[in-house]
């Protein structure tokens, strides 16, 4: 009997371009001569710098300590010497202090031994997650230890394997090649919050990933109910509120969080990091990510050290085919365009997308024709055309009355608009004005 394919209402179907990298072998990058490791790679307080110039550091050494609970530890991804501590703007747009480490002449080998007999309490699981500096690696960078000490009961943990953003395939690679890590990592997270069930949700454009997880689950002796489900391939299926709707038919209230409906959602790469932290005692200092685009000679998934420059990763994918039009941290829908190619890779950098000059040309904008297509596709049931108008005219009260703050900035409205109106850009502007006004 065929399994139901789950989804939410509305959304858009987008050209995926995942074929560029989805079948690539994993490229393990050589350690660069220098890394620049930001001390703010998460939502919350910046980490406290624990090193000084001329200090020697080892692979996995704690170099940035979480400040309070709403923060995250930062570890060195390399062995080397600290040559500077500088102020930078990160690829995610944060102003941050960063540790510069030169690696030449240092032994980079670091072996982590598998602990086959893991038997931890839920408090010990969360403690190890915090020590390892794990955050949401799908883009949000929310400290994972906070998510798994919720003030409300959680009955279900969902592993978000949708990866709905075009071009990005790193989570697909992990699902296909590391099913043990995902299933065991999910089991740990279920135990951490005393949940009754764990679900791995995968879009149906990833049949090999689904098969890999399903086959592993057949022979896995789970202590709680674990299952894998198929999601329809649709954008933004990977938004955590959309995935909760699709899988459990629960609706997170306006301004609410998944825990308000008894659910926690974690990204595939984050769950893999949890597995490595607990089964190998390995902190989060490297990640699998995608370097891709029609301007990349050899689009691929690669294992990179945190702090590696975008430029180095692009060079290791055989460089570009021609002049660069735009470099994006993330995918084309919700990613952030970069002013330079020397930004360091962060924990939440799941993709570097390199566009051609032609792809980067902004579309010609026409007046709104009131076709309401933006309303038809909005996954949050908003009216983007009106929010856009009020935001640009700085009529903030009207924008708020149309629930501007509920917008998830997925870009579905801008994508579908026949007039190519800058809907998301205007909404972001309006939200920023509201926050600055202290509302």
**264 lies in the same domain as 393:** no
pLDDT at 117 (0 to 100): 87
CA 267 to chain centre: 7
Final residue in a domain of this structure, among 229, 253, 279: 279
233 lies in some domain: yes
The overall pTM is greater than 0.85? yes
Percent of the chain residues topping a pLDDT of 70: 99
158 lies in some domain: yes
Total tally of structural domains belonging to the chain: 2
241 lies in some domain: yes
**380 lies in the same domain as 275:** no
298 lies in some domain: no
**272 lies in the same domain as 420:** no
Final residue in a domain of this structure, among 279, 311, 330: 279
Residue for token pair 């997650």: 129
296 lies in some domain: no
267 lies in some domain: yes
34 lies in some domain: no
230 lies in some domain: yes
Q: Judging by beta carbons within 10 Å of its beta carbon (0-12, 13-18, 19+), is residue 317 exposed, middle or buried?
A: buried
pLDDT digits (tens, 9 = 90+) for 263-298: 999 999 999 999 999 999 999 999 999 999 999 999
Query: 133 and 276 in contact (C-beta within 8 Å)?
Result: no
Question: How far apart, in Å, are the Cα atoms of 290 and each of 33, 174, 184, 293?
Answer: 21, 12, 24, 10
Query: 296 and 317 in contact (C-beta within 8 Å)?
Result: yes
pLDDT at 341 (0 to 100): 95
**Coil, helix or strand at residue 437:** coil
**170 lies in the same domain as 272:** yes
**120 lies in the same domain as 245:** yes
pLDDT at 1 (0 to 100): 38
Final residue in a domain of this structure, among 249, 279, 309: 279
**246 lies in the same domain as 133:** yes
pLDDT digits (tens, 9 = 90+) for 243-267: 999 999 999 999 999 999 999 999 9
Nearest partner of 264 among 323, 195, 212, judged by Cα: 195
**Domain housing 390:** 373-436
- The set of residues, in sequence order, having a beta carbon less than 8 Å from that of 356 and lying 6+ positions away, is 293, 294, 295, 321, 322, 323, 324, 325
Q: Is residue 61 predicted with pLDDT exceeding 50?
A: yes
The domain that contains 186 carries what CATH number?
Answer: 3.40.50.11540
Query: 314 and 291 in contact (C-beta within 8 Å)?
Result: yes
Q: What is the mean pLDDT of residues 70-96?
A: 97
- Measured between alpha carbons, how far is 313 from 300 in angstroms, rounded to an integer? 10
């Amino acid at each position: 009997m065929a399994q139901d394919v789950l989804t939410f209402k509305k959304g858009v179907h987008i050209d995926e371009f995942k074929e560029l990298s989805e079948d690539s072998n994993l490229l393990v990058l050589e350690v660069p001569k220098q890394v620049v490791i930001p001390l703010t790679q998460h939502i919350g307080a910046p980490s406290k710098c624990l090193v000084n110039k001329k200090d020697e550091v080892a692979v996995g050494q704690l170099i940035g300590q979480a400040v309070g609970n709403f923060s995250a530890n930062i570890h060195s991804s390399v062995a080397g010497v600290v040559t500077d501590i500088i102020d930078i703007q990160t690829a995610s747009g944060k102003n941050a202090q960063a540790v510069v480490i030169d690696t030449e002449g240092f032994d980079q080998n670091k072996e982590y031994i598998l602990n086959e007999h893991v038997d931890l309490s839920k408090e010990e699981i969360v403690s190890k997650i915090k020590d390892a500096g794990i955050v949401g690696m799908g883009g949000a960078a929310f400290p994972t230890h906070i998510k798994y000490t919720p003030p409300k009961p959680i009955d279900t943990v969902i592993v978000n394997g949708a990866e709905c953003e075009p071009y990005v395939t790193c989570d697909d690679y992990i699902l296909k090649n590391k099913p043990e890590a995902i299933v065991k990592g999910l089991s740990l997270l279920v135990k951490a919050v005393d949940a009754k069930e764990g679900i791995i949700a995968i879009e149906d454009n990833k049949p090999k990933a689904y098969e890999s997880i399903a086959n592993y689950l057949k022979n896995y002796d789970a202590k709680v109910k674990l299952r894998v489900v198929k999601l329809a391939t649709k954008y933004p299926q990977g938004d955590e509120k959309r995935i909760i709707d699709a899988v459990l038919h629960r609706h997170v209230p306006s301004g609410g969080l998944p825990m308000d409906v008894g659910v926690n959602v974690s990204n595939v790469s984050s769950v893999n990091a949890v597995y490595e932290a607990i089964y190998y005692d390995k902190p989060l200092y490297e990640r699998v990510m995608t370097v891709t685009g029609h301007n990349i000679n050899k689009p691929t998934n690669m294992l990179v050290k945190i702090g590696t420059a975008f430029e180095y990763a692009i060079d290791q994918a055989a460089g570009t085919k021609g002049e660069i039009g735009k470099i994006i941290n993330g995918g084309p829908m919700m990613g952030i365009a970069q002013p330079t190619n020397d930004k360091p890779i962060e924990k939440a950098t799941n993709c570097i997308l390199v566009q051609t000059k032609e792809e980067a040309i902004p579309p010609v904008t026409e007046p709104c024709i009131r076709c309401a297509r933006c309303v038809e596709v909005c996954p949050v049931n908003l009216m983007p055309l009106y929010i856009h108008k009020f935001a640009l005219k700085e009529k903030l009260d009207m924008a708020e009355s149309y629930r501007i703050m509920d917008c998830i900035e997925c870009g579905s409205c801008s994508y579908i608009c026949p007039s190519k109106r800058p809907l998301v850009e205007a909404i972001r502007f309006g939200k920023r004005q509201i926050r600055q006004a202290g509302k």
